[in-house]
Amino acid sequence: MSNILYITASIRSEAESVSRSIGQSIVDGLAAGGASVTTRDLAANDLPYVSAERFAANLTPAADRTPEQAELAAIADTLIAELQAADAIVIASPVYNFGPPATLKAWADLVARAGTTFQYTANGPEGLLKGKTAYLAIASGGTPMGADYDYMSRWLTFFLGFLGITDVTLIAADGIMGVDGEEKIAAAKDAAQKIAA
């Protein structure tokens, strides 16, 4: 495992965030053999939302972009390059209001580029980021992963699969606001530490 992309989305600090703590444990295990790690903190980077102009710029071939389009597409180009270079992707995120943080959805909207990260074929869409492994470190106060109202892990797993990343491992500390919250956090951290053991 030579290149790891570590994406975090919690608004909480490293010391306060359960998802960051679990995600860091996964990264530490995967990187123990000397892998390089690129960290993308979505809560700190204030990613732009996709506008009509940015959408058009992202779909325009780089050689054909105007200077304005090149500027608009630059952040998506960078995020896509990070994904393409990664052998493993670790996404650490909380569940906000039953789904992903807006910053994580913004990241997804920027990296989903027809002809680059996926393509349309006669048989439907095909992901172009095959051969990568993803690990999801998810924390939620009350939403159980897999529940009918879990619009986080289901969406994120589907989205990664859409891009061709189908080897996805979920480690969740869900429902941590309940009476057994500390036990759930401990179990998730234990599972994270065993990833590369």
pLDDT tens per residue, range 149-188: 999 999 999 999 999 999 999 999 998 988 788 999 999 9
- Confirm whether pTM is higher than 0.85: yes
Note the helical H segments in the chain.
Answer: 18-30, 42-45, 52-59, 67-85, 102-111, 153-162, 181-193
Domains of the chain from N-terminus onward: 3-193 (3.40.50.360)
Decide: 110 and 47 in contact? Cβ < 8 Å. yes
Tell me what percent of the residues of the chain surpass a pLDDT of 70. Answer: 99
- Phi and psi at 16, nearest 5°, equal -100, -25
For 105-136, how does the pLDDT look when each residue is reduced to its tens digit (9 = 90+)?
Answer: 999 999 999 999 999 999 999 999 999 999 99
State how far the Cα of 158 lies from the Cα of 163, in Å rounded to an integer.
9
At 178 the pLDDT is: 82
Tracing tokens 């189908």 back to the chain, one arrives at 166
Mean pLDDT taken over the chain: 94
At 177 the pLDDT is: 85
Residues 26-39 have a mean pLDDT of 93
Decide: 64 and 29 in contact? Cβ < 8 Å. no
Which tokens sit at 91?
Answer: 């996404």
